[in-house]
Structures are given as structure tokens and as C-alpha cells.
Amino acid sequence: MISLVRTEFTKAARRTRTLVVGALLVGLPALIVFALHQRNNVRQANAGEGLFRLARQSGLLVPAAVLGATSGFLLVVIAATFAGDSVAGDSAWGNLRYLLMRPVPRGRLLVAKATVAGLLIWVSTFLVALAGLLAGIALFGAHPVNVVAIGLQISEKTLMLRVLLSTAYVAFGFTALLALGTFFSVLTDTAAGAIGATAGVYIVSEILDGITQLGRVRYLFPTHYLDSWQSMFTDNRYSHDMIAGVLVQVGYLVVFGTLAAVYFRRKDIRS
């Protein structure tokens, strides 16, 4: 299993696409922080709310602001790419049949591919946070944050802990996407189709989640609890929604992970 994960990781990590994504995930936070710093210097009144407004107080909060800016679309597309390409990429190259003509159980190969996709999603999320943290400290310094709305100050140590927790929560928030992407990836031999379907489900989920008339059904959408972590900074509290968010993600993992495994084990490999 370890050798399978290692070989799959090597294949994914050595792709030009992965290197471009890495550069983007480092460069974009740096650019955002630089823009934020410039806006801070000209002292615009009412220039932004929420995490970005707070982030100007301390570089330690910049990772949270950058995560908030990227987790709604950019990271979704990147995660969908890693997940949707996991099996379908090899199919498209015609290489999948050569992997499966060895004494390698299909279930094990699928787990290895999903593990590598998941690992890359986590690395991507932490890369965004780390790039934001380093750029933030460089431009804003490392200070406590005063949350004026609730009249409290959050210390440096607490900030760091919460940044770590929020990054992990955002990364884990892509678990449903990982499961969906892997499922679509075994359904089709076209990587672009699997990636598009995965990202499409998330976009549709976000749109439907905005329709409050749908009521409690929205609580089951994979995107419903994605931003729950922000309460740690804006309200200085750990929201119960974060636990609900984790449970929803686990639910998607179980359901679509099982579907993917069952389908892949029975699938005729024709590419």
C-alpha cells in the first residue's frame, strides 16, 4: 500500500500542472496580502469587512483571510482537479490497464489514488495558509487582534492555534469533494469530465445553499458548513456548525467512497 501511494504521489507531484498550482497557491496569497497592505497604507475608510478588515491588524490573521478568499472557488477547482483526475487521468493515458494487469487489488489502488488526491488537497490548503502567514507577518507583523464587534482581544498564541485549526477545517471541508471527485473519476475515462462534474456539484451546491426556502435540506449540502470556521475569528467562538460540517463531510466520504469502490471493482477497464 505504501509503495502504491508513493508511486501515485510521484506521478502526481511531477506533473507540470501540480507545479503551476503550487506556484499559484504561493503567489496568490502574497499578492492578496500586498494589495491589502497597499490599501492599508492609503487608509481608506470602510475598506472591507470581516476577516480582511481584522487581518490588517496582524499578519497572524492573514492566513484566515486568504483562506476565506480562496476556499470558495480557487481551492474548490484545484481540489476537484486532483480528485477528478485521480483515476480518469490514468484512464485517459491508457495507463490504467497496465496498473491493473498486475496483482494489485483494485480497491487498494483506488484508496492509494484517493489518498494522494487528498494529500495534495491538504498540501494545497496549507500552502495557501503558510504563504499568507509569511507574507502577512512580513507586511503587518505578528500582533494580537482586537475584535471590536465583541470587545475582545485574541492573543498571538490563540491566533496561531485557530489559524492551524481553521486551515485543517478548510482542508477537511474538501473531503466530500474528494469522495465525489473520486466517484466521478471511476465513472468516466475523461479526466476533464470528472473534474468538471466535481466542481459543478460544488457550484450548484453553493447556489442552492443560498436559497433559504429549501429549509433543512441545505444542511446536507457539501458546502453548507464550509465557512463555519470563520466564527473563531469574527465572533471569538467555536461554532457547533463546525462539528456538523465534519459529520456531513464524513457522510459524503462514506457514501461516495463506497459507491466509487463498488463501481471500480466491477468496472470493465476498456481504456
Partner 1 sequence: MSEPSDTLNDGPGDSRGDAIVEVDGLWKTFGAVSAVEDLSFAVRRGQVYGLLGPNGAGKTTTLRVLMGLERPTRGTTRLFGTRVTPGCRELVRVGAMVEQAAFVPHLSGLRNLRLWWEAGGKRMRDADLDGALAIAGLGNAIDRKVNTYSQGMKQRLGFARLLLGRPELLVLDEPTNGLDPGEIREIRELIARLSAQGATVLLSSHHLSEVEQVCSHALVMNHGRLVADGTVTELIGSTGSVYIEVDDRERARAVLQGLKIVERVQSQGDGLVVELRDGRRSEVAAALVGAGLQLETIMATQRLEDAFLELLAAGDGQPPARVAQAAS
Q: Does 263 bind partner 1 (CB under 8 A)?
A: no
Confirm or reject binding of residue 269 to partner 1 (CB under 8 A): yes
Q: Are 90 and 112 in contact (CB under 8 A)?
A: no
Minimum CB–partner distance for residue 120 and partner 1 (Å): 15
Which of 94/141 has CB closer to partner 1? Answer: 94
The neighbouring-strand residues paired with 152 are: 147
Using rule CB under 8 A, residue 106 touches partner 1 = yes
Match 487608509 to its residue by C-alpha cell. 43
* 266 lies in the binding site for partner 1 (CB under 8 A): yes
Minimum distance from residue 15 beta carbon to partner 1 (Å): 6
Task: Please state the closest distance from residue 154 (CB atom) to partner 1, in A.
Answer: 45
> Is residue 216 close enough to count as binding partner 1 by CB under 8 A?
no
Binding of residue 119 to partner 1 (CB under 8 A): no
CA distance 64 to 234: 11
- Among 102, 212, 213, 215, the residue binding partner 1 under the rule CB under 8 A is 102
Q: Which of 3, 41, 44, 212 binds partner 1 (CB under 8 A)?
A: 3
Considering the complex, state which of residue 15 and residue 237 has its C-beta at the smaller distance from partner 1.
15
Among 6, 157, 237, 240, binds partner 1 (CB under 8 A): 6
- In the shown chain, the binding pattern of residues 62 to 101 toward partner 1, with x for contact by CB under 8 A and - for none, equals ----------------------------x--xxx-xxxxx
Task: Report the interface residues with partner 1, using CB under 8 A.
Answer: 3-4, 6-8, 10-11, 14-16, 90, 93-95, 97-106, 265-266, 268-270
